[in-house]
Chain A
Amino acid sequence: MSKELIRLSDCVVKFDDEIILDHLNLYINDKEFLTLLGPSGCGKTTTLRIIGGFQKPTSGDVFFDGRRCNDVPPHKRQVNTVFQKYALFTHMNIFENVAFGLRIAKTPEAEIARRVEEALELVNLPGYGKRRVSSLSGGQQQRVAIARAIVNRPQVLLLDEPLGALDLKLRKDMQVELKRIQREVGITFIYVTHDQEEALTMSDTVVVMDKGNIQQIGAPEDIYNEPKNAFVADFIGESNIIDGTMPEDKVVKMYGRKFPCLDGGFAPGEPVDVVIRPEDIDIVSPEEGQITGTVTEVTFKGMHYDIIVDFQGFKWLIQTTDYSPEGARIGVKIDPDGFHVMHKSAYSGKFGDYSSYSDEYDELNVDAEAGLEGDDEEN
């Protein structure tokens, strides 16, 4: 890819002995759409604030274009930010909001007028300049926030969960819109979100974070198809994660049976986590199946059914378009490319079991809410 623009080197952030960032190393290339993805409290917003200059690392260095910039205040950085709740100035109209940065920079009036209107056109709000902030919808306010940042022609645009406050439909539209804007202005976007779908849709590179550490960096497809550990596998999409061993290359053993797979390079007999995506599992008759289990729960999801199948006490999630009634005995078949084998990690055994399927969904929601509050306090 293109040249490196930002580098975080061994960054640590502590609040009262609580480690928020744990020796983080990250570099970001020019003109890249990079997403920091992770659950609340994982340190993604803190990372963004370090780049924006709102937060100084407790230790470690930040480089911008090769120069150390730990002590450069926010207003001197060629970086602009789009905030979660927009942070628009309600005492000014739209035009003045967008023009704010240019006025501070003492740009000539004619140029301000031209650039502001350009920016408003870019975010599809031409002619909205005279309106008041309060007269705009949430989506429109978010576009103004983007225009206000873009108009200053920063090298990097930071976006802190900018779509978090929008409803689902609007969020999908804005995802496409943001990608288009990034292509048009051709600058680096650093995007923070806890929504894996958003991350996969828009990013060139996804950085998955948890507990102040980077779990995996890669292109969306790589992250999805080749998760490095149980956390990533679970956080990105749905995954069944089963204990197994690798007797030899391209063979994985679980439930006492050997299955052909495509992975290799493990020590013979090494215990591993085996990831099987719910959509990679085919349902067949019990006789034809590699293994058999009992359907315990069926949920209609529109495009498919989510069914939970009990395999010897360990429950899997299977997504299928074929209806199987509750209590039915079924067999399953998995193609060799349906297996993804990972080394054991600290996250092993914590994810990937759907024994308490519905509960887990609730838990996720609770986490998200608690996390949001946590973020507020942190700021």
Chain B
Amino acid sequence: MKKNSAFGRFFTFLVFLFLYAPIILLIIFSFNQNNSNVVWGGFSLHWYRELFQNRIIMRSLYTTLLVSLLATVISTIAGTFAAIGFYGLRRRARNALTTVNNIPMMNADIVTGVAMCLFFVAFFALWKDFALWFNSVQTLLVLPTRLTLGFPTLLIAHITFDIPYVLLSVSPKLRQLDKNLIDAAQDLGCTWFQAFYKVILPEIKPGIVSGALTAFTMSIDDFIISYFTAGSSSSTLAMTIYGMTKKRVSPEINAISTILFVTVILLLAVINIREARLEKMAQRRQAAPSATVAEMAGQKPHRTPFLAKAAAAVACAAVLVTAVVGAFQNTRQPVVNVCSWGEYIDEELITQFEEETGILVNYQTAESNEALYSLLKSGAGDYDVIVPSDYMISQLIEEDMLEKLDYSSIPNFSLIDDRFKNLPYDPTNEYTVPYTWGTVGIIYNTAMVTEPPASWSVMFDDQYAGNVLMFRNSRDAMATALLYLGYSLNTTDEAELRQAAGLIADAKSRGVYQAFVMDEILQKMEGGNAAIGAYYAGDYLSMAENNPDLAFVVPQEGSNWFVDAMCVLKDAPHYEEAMAWINFIASTEANLRNMDFIWYASPNKEALEQYPAYYEALYEEELDQETYETMAAPAEVLERCESYVSLPTETRRLYNELWIGLGIQ
């Protein structure tokens, strides 16, 4: 018996450990001094300060709360009335409808999300035709022809998936009601509405409250459906956190998760304590039934003073009105929708731009050029400004997906170094303003390798099998193999490409690769989980900040040097704002700050030259020459490097085929 209970206790302990260990770890690291989740650097509230200054998190928190509150209020009202409607139906119809109502809850979120996205896009297309026709037949009212995904669609989606939950928790309460309750109230002098308000609502209130709470939780919690319906102009907390985790789990996320966790725990505690107290009161009331009339009349149980009720109502109304007005103001304010890469900007620049111009920046991130491309093709990514890499730019130009820029509105373009103008991807420089440039190389952990690698061969040797990280995108991964084999990384020769793919496949089958990764590499290399990895120089510098054992080399065979440039999508709804943004980012000051923040080299001539001085002024120490050269590769390194050009369609198809053949998701 005793042995059993000890075992049971141990088992319980294990369960709780599994449940809470990750959360505890997260909470601990939210107080970490440095920006790693692996290395403890001392206690600090630094990340909480950062959190409240992080405008992207704060704005998405605002969006999340607003959409959740509005969706909760609307779906609770709608769901309650729907439940009452169901209740009035005959049993067979009611059962059928209840089943229909339950399906969305069991349905995979991804299906709901995609379906909603498709529905909205289809509706927008229809709307465009209608609006064009409507505008052509009359002149009194001009309807907008271009609708996009945004806060309204997000709200509609949230209301839609919240309603079933409200229905689900209100319906049983209604079914428990005495059928004559409304009759009884009317019999005692109530009109139908009084009966509903004074009797039915209070009787089903517990169901409504729990329905509203469930709806709110679902809204706050939702990621997938939001992801497909929020469009480019709004993003919820979950979406932002997801975007931020692409590179590494920033301690800011730990901080906000800790706050969320504590809030929920507190809420639960309040609700439980309240319930326990109510129960106790009910028991006491039963125990002492012989209260006098005077007491009863004097005490007026169950009646909140009128003033308190009114105050609560006014407060609720005020919150809602502010929220809605805020939302409308947001929509009237000029905006620009930007899609870039994770941790690819000093966010203070966004704030500064918004303050200077009054233009709101909706800033989102994509994982890779390929992911961005498919997002654009699906029609869901209605951004104004994107920051793709060179080869993707030429592909987009080829497919007529970019708008020409108005260089007269971008005076700062003149500050761009001439070597980054008229590059092969945009030979006449009509579409782009360079954002950053850099090289690809091998990052290695000096503590884990026997000698510093100098050749791409380490990516394919058994020497570090199981400790090598390879790119998870076809172009970069193939480039490493092509370079090692001594071919051009822009080759269109099928035999060469097949040989390169064979090389990777062979290495993969021998277990050389620990994983195929993108931004996850930062986490892995910083934590010392892998010895070798191929990645971008700028990111290496970020990693090196957290793990001084790391080193970087541009292999002797040469490498890729790349340019990421800002472009504007065809028919961008905020063209002028986009020009203002591009001009702002191209300025010397913005380039210096970005360079300092993301460690990628600037194409701005002044900024590139001034950076060592800027660094010294800021940190009061000299910038290490090696660091600077890693960032901005010197001429002799660049000589070895080649930039990507857009590949012909059949080659791209071959890339796809080979990549799929490798079996990497």
Contact = CB atoms under 8 A, between A and B. Distances in A.
Given A87-B181, A96-B302, A73 B297 contact: no
B183 A54 contact: yes
Interface in A88-116: 88-93, 95-96, 100-101, 104-105, 109-110, 112-114, 116
A85 interface: yes
Interface stretch (A122-130, A316-324, A359-367): A122-130
B205 A91 contact: yes
A95 B290 CA distance: 12
Nearest to A145: B184
B203 A117 contact: no
A325 to B, nearest CB: 51
B33 to A, nearest CB: 54
A127 to B, nearest CB: 5
B188 A152 contact: yes
Contact of A89 (B186, B194, B199, B285): B199
A287 interface: no
B191 A113 contact: no
A101 B188 contact: yes
Interface in B271-296: 282, 285-286, 288-296
B82 interface: no
B89 to A, nearest CB: 13
B185 interface: yes
Given A52-B187, A80-B188, A84-B180, A89 B297 contact: no
B180 A379 contact: yes
A148 interface: yes
B7 to A, nearest CB: 42
B634 interface: no
A114 B293 contact: yes
A130 B291 contact: yes
Interface string A71-93: 00111000111011111111111
Nearest to B291: A130
B188 A73 contact: no
B302 A92 contact: yes
Contacts of B297: 109-110, 112-113
B289 A81 contact: no
Q: In the complex, which of the residues A54, A74, A128, A152 has the most CB atoms of chain B within 10 Å of its own CB atom?
A: A74
A376 interface: yes
A135 interface: yes
A96 to B, nearest CB: 6
B188 to A, nearest CB: 4
A128 B286 CA distance: 9
A293 B648 CA distance: 112
A259 B205 CA distance: 70
B202 interface: yes
B190 interface: yes
Interface in B158-181: 178-181
Nearest to A89: B199
Interface string B398-434: 0000000000000000000000000000000000000
B289 A87 contact: no
B305 interface: no
A83 B294 contact: no
Contacts of B292: 127
Contacts of A128: 289
A113 B296 contact: yes
A104 B188 contact: yes
A85 B189 CA distance: 19
B301 interface: yes
A113 B186 CA distance: 22
Given A80-B187, A132-B282, A87 B178 contact: yes
Given A89-B181, A109-B297, A113-B293, A131 B285 contact: yes
A85 to B, nearest CB: 5
Given A75-B189, A75-B191, A104-B189, A87 B294 contact: no
A100 B303 CA distance: 13
Given A81-B183, A95-B296, A117-B293, A100 B188 contact: yes
B626 to A, nearest CB: 75
14 contacts: A52-B183, A75-B186, A79-B187, A81-B183, A87-B178, A88-B178, A89-B181, A89-B203, A93-B285, A117-B293, A129-B291, A135-B286, A152-B188, A379-B179
Given A75-B188, A88-B178, A112-B297, 8 more contacts: A53-B186, A74-B183, A74-B187, A79-B187, A83-B183, A87-B181, A91-B302, A129-B291
